[in-house]
Amino acid sequence: MKKVVFIFIIAIFLVACKKTKFSSEGPTDIRVRNVQSTYTFTDVIVKSAGGKDTTGNIKNLGSIAPGQVSQYKRFAIAFYRAEISAKINGETFSTGPINSTYWTYIGQDKITYEVYIKNETSKLLEISNYIDEAPIDSL
């Protein structure tokens, strides 16, 4: 009888343990690198998945000095392109919205978007490169 109670208690603990949910869609850890710019990007916002925030896909990465990278932020899902906006000298610059309807998910990876100012007059940012850094540890 003691064995049955012991096994029952162990089973309850195993079921009650929470782990990070991983799937083929994500999560994805994203950071941004400020390249080819002499300006500091402030209030950097990344909107993956077409900007829908239903599953945690809009994050503020803070400020990024020229040539520097932000800290990683975890997104529920991500794609090879994202809508990225930043304030530069008080004005908002953006890559513009994306339509991710038929795109493939990145999956469980750490990635870096390299971003630069494409056109100062039009206040356009551009993702010049996407770097797949490493897989996310599933443990």
For the stretch 27-64, pLDDT in tens is 999 999 999 889 999 999 999 876 555 566 889 999 99
C-alpha 120: how far from chain center: 25
Superfamily of domain 23-135: Domain of unknown function DUF5300 (2.60.40.2890)
pLDDT band at 137 (very low <50, low <70, confident <90, very high): confident
The CA-atom distances, in angstroms, between 36 and each of 16, 65, 86, 112, 116 are 49, 11, 15, 15, 6
For the stretch 66-101, pLDDT in tens is 999 999 999 988 889 999 999 999 999 999 988 878
Identify the CA nearest to 33 among candidates 68, 60, 80.
68
